[in-house]
Amino acid sequence: MKWVYLWLMVISHGIGVFGAGSGYFPGGRMAGLGRASVALPGVWSVFNNQAGLAWDAGWQAGIFVENKFLMKEICYEAAGLTWSGRPGAFGLALSYYGFSLYNEFKAGFSYARKFGKRFSTGVQINYLSVQIAEDYGSKGTVSCEIGFMYRPDQNWTVGMHVCNPIPLKLSNHPDERLPILIRLGVGYDLSGRVLILLEGEKDLENPLTGRMGVEVRLARSVYARVGMLTCPFMVTGGIGFSLRRLVVDIATGYHMTLGFSPAISIGYSFTK
């Protein structure tokens, strides 16, 4: 039975992705928005686009859990801690995915800062490890990420994120490398009540993945979200609650063959 779980992980995640590919976008808000996240600032930028850290102030923390296809063996867990001020923003990212036969661990430290009032950039250094049962064993390496964010006005946000810009080889037999992954997206905020997100992701081997999401502000502190993504095709939805400094986001994705993947994140801002 455990090998069935491993097979599902290959389909939904992709062995060899090594902490860098589709599906690794923590945050309940993003999970409800079709995983579109590269143009969203906030605490989860420590995973999704480090340049977004520069647009906040003070301390923030968040935890995230996603139960892929309602199977505990393929659960994804993440935690982030950020601080933004002078001379910039700093972030710590930790994540774990899998179970005893296959698991991935990631620890990252990031720095971001603004350049003027409209542009920011960020960089992150990661330690990644993967463990697979039987003959594969475990491997670890260091990688990096770089992000950019441009906000020409209060409505538009453009984000770009490059994961593993320097190709790193994991082993010679077989030939395994960290994929170079590029994401580009845009967000449009319509009068503070409707947010529209569009995003594309591409590496050197796989087809283009598209993502889109729409967030509607139902009340002062309640948000509804829908989204979709391709490769694999999934639809998503969720709801969020902003309770002063505490933010709770609940979401789920639906795969037509494998079913539901519920997720929840809790974020807290230590700054008023």
CATH label of the domain that carries residue 231: 2.40.160.60
Written as tens digits, the pLDDT of the chain (272 aa) is: 444 444 555 544 443 444 444 457 899 999 999 999 999 999 999 999 999 999 998 999 999 999 988 887 789 999 999 999 888 999 999 999 988 888 899 999 999 999 999 999 999 999 998 888 776 677 888 999 999 999 999 999 999 999 988 877 666 655 677 788 999 999 999 988 999 999 999 987 788 999 999 999 999 899 999 999 998 899 999 999 998 899 999 999 999 988 999 999 999 999 86
Note whether 200 and 208 are within 8 A (CB): yes
Tally of domains within the chain? 1
- Three-state secondary structure call for residue 88: coil
Domain interval for residue 122: 2-269
Element spanning 163, H or E = strand 156-163
Report the C-alpha gap between 33 and 238 in whole angstroms: 8
Report the DSSP pairing between strands 89-98 and 102-115.
Answer: antiparallel
Cis peptide before 262 (omega within 30 of 0): no
